[in-house]
Structure 1
Amino acid sequence: MISAVIDCGYNSFRLVIYQVFSNGTFRMLGSFKSFVRIGEGIKEGDKISDEKIDKAEKSFSIFKKILDNLNVAEVKIVATSAFRYAINGNDVKERLSKIINEEIRIVSGEEEGRYATIGMMNTLPISDGIFFELGGGSLEIAEVTSGNISRVSQLPIGALKLINYSPREIRKKVLDELSTLDIRKGKTLVGSGGNVRALAKLDRKLTSFPLKSIHGYSISSKQISKYASLLPSLDAESRQSLPGIGKERALTIHSASVIIDELVNYLNSRELIVSAFGMREGVLTEGKRLDKINWLEAVSFSHAITTPPIEIINEILTQVDSKYSFYVASSAFLSLVFKMTGYFDPFQACYRFIKESVLPGFTLNEALLIGLICEAGSGKVKKKQMKKLNEDITKKEILSFGDIIRNDIDKYVAGVRI
Structure 2
Amino acid sequence: MIPNKAAVIDMGTNTFHLVMVEIFENKFETLYKEKIPVKIGQGGISNNTIHPDAKKRAFHTLQHFKNLINGESITKVFAFATSAVRNANNGADFVKEIKERFDITVQVIDGAEEAQMIYEGIRLSGSLNGETSLMMDIGGGSVEFIIGNSQEVLWKQSFEIGGQRMLDLFHYHDPILPEEIKNLTAYLEEKLQSLARAIDTYKPTGLVGASGTFDTLTDIYYASLHQHKARTQQTFQLPKAAFEQIARQLLTLHKEDRLKIPGMIPMRVDMIVVASCLIEYILQLVPVDTLICSNYALKEGAIARLMGRHTMANAESR
Q: What TM-score, normalized by structure 2, do the two folds share?
A: 0.84
Q: Residue 204 of structure 1 aligns to a residue in which SS?
A: helix
Q: CA deviation at 1:150?
A: 1.7
CA displacement 1:145-199 (0-9 Å, x = unmatched):
4611122111122222222433222222222222222223451111113111100
**Correspondence 1:260 to 2:275:** no
SS across alignment from 1:66: helix
Residue from 9, 12, 15 that aligns with 2:12: 9
1:75-112 CA distances to partner (integer Å, 9 max, x unpaired)? 10000000111101111011112333121000000111
Deviations 1:342-385 (A, max 9, x none): xxxxxxxxxxxxxxxxxxxxxxxxxxxxxxxxxxxxxxxxxxxx
* Residues 285-364 of structure 1: pairs in structure 2 closer than 5 A: 285-286=304-305
- How many residue pairs get aligned? The number is 288
The offset of 1:5, in angstroms, is 0.5
Contact 2:219 2:229 in 1 (8 A): no
The one of 232, 235, 238 aligned to 2:251: 232
- Determine the structure 1 residue equivalent to 2:105: 103
Q: Structure 1 CA distance, aligned partners of 2:203 and 2:51?
A: 40
1:204 lines up with 2:222 in the alignment: yes
SS in 1 for 2:261: coil
Per the normalisation by structure 1, the TM-score is 0.65
Q: Could you say which residue in structure 2 is the equivalent of 1:159? A: 163
Could you tell me whether the CA contact under 8 Å between 1:12 and 1:33 is conserved in 2? yes
Deviations 1:49-74 (A, max 9, x none): 21111111111111111111112141
Instruction: Give the RMSD, CA atoms, in angstroms.
Output: 2.0
2:137 aligned counterpart, secondary structure: strand
Cα distance between partner residues in 1 of 2:134 and 2:118 = 12
Moved more, 248-257 or 276-285: 248-257
Partner amino acid, structure 2, of 1:13 = F
Per the alignment, residue 136 of structure 2 pairs with 132
**Aligned mates of 1:285, 1:188 — CA distance in 2:** 23
2:166 partner letter: L
Question: C-alpha distance in 2, partners of 1:210/1:97?
Answer: 40
Task: Tell me what 2:184 maps to.
Answer: 170
Partner-residue secondary structure (3-state), 2:48: coil
Deviations 1:305-334 (A, max 9, x none): xxxxxxxxxxxxxxxxxxxxxxxxxxxxxx
What residue number does 2:115 align with? 113
Contact 1:5 1:16 in 2 (8 A): yes
- Specify the alignment match of 1:79 in structure 2: 81
Give the alignment partner of residue 211 of structure 2, picking from 172, 190, 193.
193
Judging by fraction of residues, say which structure has more strand. 2
Question: How far off is 1:209 after superposition?
Answer: 4.3
SS of the residue aligned with 1:180? helix
C-alpha distance 226-167 of structure 1, shift in aligned 2 (>3 A): farther
Q: Is the contact between residue 25 and residue 307 of structure 2 (CA under 8 Å) also seen in structure 1? A: no
Give the whole-Å Cα distance in 1 for the aligned partners of 2:67 and 2:89: 29
Gaps of 5+ in 2: 172-179, 309-318
Checking the alignment, whether the CA contact within 8 Å between 1:237 and 1:250 is kept in structure 2 is no
Partner residue, 1:363 = none
Aligned to 2:152: 148
Match of 2:60 in 1: 58
One-letter amino acid of the structure 1 residue matched with residue 153 of structure 2: I
| Paired residues of 2:124 and 2:304 also in contact (CA < 8 A) | no
Separation of aligned partners in 1, 2:184 and 2:262 = 25
Structure 1: 4+ residue segments shifted above 6 A: none
SS at the partner of 1:230? helix
Task: Please identify the structure whose Cα radius of gyration is greater.
Answer: 1
Aligned twin of 1:70: 72
**Per the alignment, do residues 114 and 68 of structure 1 end up closer, same or farther by CA in structure 2, a change over 3 Å counting?**
same
* Identity rate, percent: 24
> What is the distance in 1 between the residues matched to 2:206 and 2:48?
37
Structure 1: stretches of 5+ with no match in the other structure? 290-418
Distance 1:46 1:58, change over 3 A: same
The structure, 1 or 2, with the larger RCO (C-alpha pairs under 8 Å, 6+ apart) is 2
Deviation per residue, 1:224-260 (Å, 9 max, x gap): 2222222021122211221221222212221211111
